[in-house]
Amino acid sequence: MKRVGVLSDVHGNLGAFEACLAHMGQVDLLLFGGDLLGYYFDGPAILRRLRQLGAHCLLGNHDLYFLSHLGRPVPHDIPTPTAAEYRKRYGPSLELATSALTTEEVDFLAGLRSEQRLVVEGRTLLQVHGSPWRPGDEYVYPDFPAFERFDTVDADVVLMGHTHRPLVREQNGRWLVNVGSCGQPRDGDPRASYAIIEVGAKVHCDVHRVSYDRAPLLERCRTLAPECTLLTELLLREKKPVSGAARAE
């Protein structure tokens, strides 16, 4: 039996990231589902920690925006905001990362992709940032209207992120898991989110929630991006999300 820890959508929130690592304890394999960067300010430190831990990492859409702004685009078909558009909506986090990351660290990011396939204890795990059909940016919410599409996916476990809303569903013999967001949950529960996948003769998947102190990050948002109220609003949001595509941010 192997114990696999899965994180996604940390978005530079180091406090939430370290809280999840401490809570999950020892794992045989650590997976990261993308969106290391964007919104908050400690993406470079988190990247170094993930590499230190030997995590298998993906790119998320905000990571792809970062590489595009640097002139290092990874092939994808996701509409990319300009650097000015990004800063106006999401704040200065990508600009800060540009000055904090080394050339070698940018090269490491540019070598990643938005999907990966691993075999653990004879079981196939497919990890994507979005969906198996659009790994970079398709949203698979808990009320996704076409879960039968997964019946043709060649994997025992499909791991997803991007929505910031957790999902665990058994679908005709395979597990569908969205680990939710470590750094910026949007399901009405502000606690950080991660998943543990136990893989052996059987597969078992659980999403866990972890409380952490948001006050230092909220203060940094007010100091570093006072004009970008979205940063604090999303950290403090505790209401139920509305339905439909309008949830995407």
Average pLDDT, the chain: 94
Tokens 């653990």, residue located: 120
- Higher pLDDT among residues 237 and 179, named by residue: 179
For residue 239, name the pLDDT band (cuts at 50, 70, 90): low
User: What is the per-residue pLDDT for 205?
Assistant: 96
Q: Residue 52, class by beta-carbon neighbours within 10 Å (0-12 exposed, 13-18 middle, 19+ buried)?
A: exposed
For residue 109, pLDDT beyond 90: yes
Which helix (H) or strand (E) element contains residue 48? helix 43-52
Average pLDDT rounded to a whole number, residues 215-229:
97
Query: Residues 146-167: what's their mean pLDDT?
Result: 97
Q: Within 13 Å and on the Cβ side, how many CA atoms surround 166?
A: 24
Query: Which whole number is the average pLDDT over 1-29?
Result: 98
Q: Which two tokens stand for residue 153?
A: 């996916």
* Structural domains counted in the chain: 1
Residue 215 lies in a domain: yes
pLDDT above 70 coverage of the chain, percent? 96
Give domain status of residue 222, yes or no. Answer: yes
Asked whether residue 195 carries a pLDDT value surpassing 50, the answer given is yes
User: What pLDDT is recorded for position 249?
Assistant: 41
Evaluate if pTM is beyond 0.75.
yes
Q: Report if residue 247 sits inside a domain.
A: no
Q: Kindly report the CATH number assigned to the domain that includes residue 53.
A: 3.60.21.10
Q: What is the per-residue pLDDT for 97? A: 98
**Domain around 161:** 2-242
- Name the percent of the chain lying above pLDDT 90: 91
Specify if 224 maps to a domain: yes
69 near 16, Cβ under 8 Å? no
In a domain, 145, yes or no: yes
Residue 36 lies in a domain: yes
Q: Is residue 248 part of a domain?
A: no
pLDDT bracket for residue 246 (50, 70, 90)? very low
Binned at pLDDT 50, 70 and 90, residue 102 comes out as: very high
Residue 73's pLDDT band, with cuts at 50, 70 and 90, is confident
Is residue 129 helix, strand or coil?
coil
Q: Specify the pLDDT at position 237.
A: 87
Alpha carbon distance, N-terminus to C-terminus of the chain: 37
Binned at pLDDT 50, 70 and 90, residue 240 comes out as low
Q: What is the pLDDT of residue 76?
A: 81
